[in-house]
């Protein structure tokens, strides 16, 4: 049996005859998880996942991309009506699983019209299967991490007085693509000084001045899998407070990395880091979870936070990214991607983390 199918069906709370994954105008990454397709958009295409086999319903437009997947069976349609007829035959079942998190309401209504089967949401089983990575997935993420680690070093030479946030962001994208990334994994965060206090800021026309924070949070997509890294620098001589905040975040991340291991609760790791930060003068300024799972998506379904009842396992991959954010002043975040081993972690992002004044 396909190992991914085995994981998915092994996590199922209710039995189904097959799982229906429709890749709509908004991509369902479960389609690419199941097929392993590295090229092609596959918009409007469907993966039918049985307990021991996988079939694809693919448009003529995506036929050549589909052939690269080389799965058990591939059904080609030219027109929507042909697609409908193929699915009517294939969905003659009693119980069909869907990814309720990503299937649109419109697609769900159309599905109900072509099958009398009981529709069951199996999105939880899909997410759990994707959480523990296989060897080939880890290697793709490792490559994506190598790209951003190298970019972290090279981007320093572009950080100059007078550069604007969006200009530096453009250089990040260029360097990632030059090193083999398919595309950025998400919209770059490139924030100077007070803008660094906004964790999900993107990039504006703020001009860099001496003594200011430069926070860069970016990721590369490689063969559909992603990395996610954050480094914070100070341009020029830093005042004492900036260095103090940085060193606090640095210690917080070290605590996080030391507490992550197979068998530990993800929420406990977050609490250890948050408790440390709250023991300093920056109490309450760590405003998000310690990290999130990555894979085909940047936020791949789970977080290192007490709101997730998650026991960590080997070969899960998470970000570890504590931060301190001071409104109207600035912020520091240090983020790395790690793969969990039996009693330790392997840090996949290797860019230096010492306090740097550029």
Closest CA to 195 of 322, 332, 319: 332
Q: Where a domain ends, among 72, 104, 131?
A: 131
Q: Please report the pLDDT score of residue 343 as a whole number.
A: 83
Residue 344 confidence (pLDDT) = 87
Query: Do 252 and 162 reside in the same domain of the chain?
Result: yes
Distances (CA, A) of 143 to 13, 160, 225, 281: 35, 29, 9, 38
Q: Flag whether 11 is in a domain.
A: yes
Residue 62 has pLDDT above 90, yes or no: yes
Do 212 and 285 belong to one domain? Answer: yes
Cross-strand pairs, 229? 218
Query: Considering the domain boundaries, does residue 60 fall inside one?
Result: yes
27 with 83, same domain: the answer is yes
Is 354 a member of any domain? no
Tokens 């092609």: give the residue: 40
pLDDT of residue 342: 86
Q: Evaluate if residue 301 carries a pLDDT over 70.
A: yes
Please tell me the predicted confidence (pLDDT) of residue 1.
53
Are residues 287 and 221 located together in one domain of the fold?
yes
CATH code where residue 224 lies: 3.90.230.10
Domain count, the chain: 2
Whether residues 339 and 207 fall in one domain: yes
Domain range for 9 is 3-131
Q: How far apart are CA 139 and CA 223, in angstroms?
A: 10
Question: Domain holding 25: CATH number?
Answer: 3.40.350.10
For the segment 310-330, the average pLDDT, to the nearest whole number, is 98
Residue 297 reports pLDDT greater than 80: yes
Same domain, 97 and 147: no
8: phi > 0 → left, psi -120 to 50 → alpha, else beta; which? alpha
Instruction: Record the pTM.
Output: 0.96
Band the pLDDT of 2: cuts 50, 70, 90. confident
- Same domain, yes or no: 142 and 70: no
Q: Note whether residue 357 is domain-resident.
A: no
**Per-residue pLDDT, 30:** 98
In the predicted structure, residue 72 carries a pLDDT above the cut 70:
no
Residue 195 and residue 327 in one domain: yes
Tell me, yes or no, whether 15 lies in a domain.
Answer: yes
Question: 133: which 2 tokens?
Answer: 């990575």
Residue 356 resides in a domain: no
162 in the same domain as 91: no
Q: Does any domain span residue 355?
A: no
- With CA atoms as reference, report the closest residue to 268 among 282, 256, 278, 279: 256
Please state which of the ranges 24-28, 201-205, 286-290, 349-353 shows the lowest mean pLDDT: 24-28
Query: What is the pLDDT at residue 25?
Result: 86
A 10 A CB-CB count for 301 gives 20
Q: Which helix (H) or strand (E) holds 318?
A: strand 317-320
**Residues 67 and 170 reside in one and the same domain:** no
Domain boundary among 100, 115, 131: 131
Q: How far apart, in whole angstroms, are the C-alpha atoms of residue 21 and residue 71?
A: 15
User: For residue 262, how many C-alpha atoms fall within 13 Å in the half-sphere facing its CB?
Assistant: 12
In a domain, 352, yes or no: no
**In the prediction, which pLDDT does 81 show?**
95
| C-alpha dist (Å) from residue 127 to 89, 259, 262, 349 | 28, 24, 18, 24
Give the per-residue pLDDT at 23: 96
Whether residue 173 is found in the same domain as residue 37: no
Pairing of strands 212-218, 317-320: unpaired
Q: In what order do the strands lie in the sheet with 73-77?
A: 73-77, 54-59, 45-49, 18-23, 95-98, 118-121
- Section 292-314 average pLDDT: 97
pLDDT tens per residue, range 176-231:
999 999 999 999 999 999 999 999 999 999 999 999 999 999 999 999 999 999 99
156 and 46 within one domain: no
C-alpha dihedral, 333 to 29 to 49 to 36, nearest 10°:
-90
Query: Over the stretch 124-162, which tens digit does the pLDDT of each residue have?
Result: 999 999 999 999 999 999 999 999 999 999 999 999 999
Quote the pLDDT of residue 71.
Answer: 63
CB 30 within 8 A of CB 19: no
Domain end: 111, 131, 151, which one? 131
- For the chain, give the percent of residues with pLDDT over 90: 96
């Amino acid at each position: 049996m396909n190992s991914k199918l085995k994981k998915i069906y092994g996590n199922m709370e209710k039995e189904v005859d097959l799982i229906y994954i429709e890749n709509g105008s908004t991509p369902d990454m479960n389609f690419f998880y199941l097929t392993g397709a590295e090229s092609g958009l596959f918009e409007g295409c469907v993966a039918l996942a049985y307990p021991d086999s996988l079939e694809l319903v693919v448009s003529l437009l995506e036929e050549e991309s589909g052939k690269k997947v080389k799965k058990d069976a591939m059904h080609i349609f030219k027109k929507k009506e042909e697609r409908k007829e193929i699915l009517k035959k294939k969905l003659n079942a009693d119980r069909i699983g869907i990814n309720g998190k990503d299937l649109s309401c419109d697609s769900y209504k159309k599905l109900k019209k072509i099958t009398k089967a009981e529709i069951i949401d199996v999105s939880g089983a899909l997410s759990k299967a994707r959480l523990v990575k296989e060897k080939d997935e880890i290697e793709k993420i490792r490559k994506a991490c190598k790209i951003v680690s190298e970019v972290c070093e090279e981007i320093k030479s572009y950080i100059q007085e007078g550069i604007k946030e969006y200009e530096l962001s453009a250089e990040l994208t260029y360097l990632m693509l030059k090193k083999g990334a398919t595309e950025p994994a998400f919209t770059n965060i490139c924030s100077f000084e007070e803008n660094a206090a906004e964790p999900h800021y993107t990039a504006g026309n703020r001009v860099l001045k001496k003594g200011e924070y430069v926070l860069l949070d970016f990721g590369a997509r490689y063969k559909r899998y992603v990395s996610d890294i954050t480094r914070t620098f100070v341009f020029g001589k830093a005042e004492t407070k900036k260095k103090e905040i940085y060193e606090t975040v640095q210690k917080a991340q070290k605590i996080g990395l030391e507490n992550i291991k197979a068998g530990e609760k993800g929420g406990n790791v977050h609490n250890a880091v948050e408790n440390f930060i709250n023991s300093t003068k920056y109490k309450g300024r760590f405003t998000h979870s310690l990290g999130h799972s990555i894979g085909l998506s940047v936020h791949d379904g789970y977080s290192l936070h007490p709101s997730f009842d998650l026991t960590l396992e080997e070969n899960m991959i998470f970000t570890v990214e504590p931060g301190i954010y001071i409104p109207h002043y600035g912020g520091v975040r240090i983020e790395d991607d790690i793969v969990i081993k039996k009693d330790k972690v392997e840090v996949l992002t290797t860019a230096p983390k010492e306090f740097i004044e550029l």
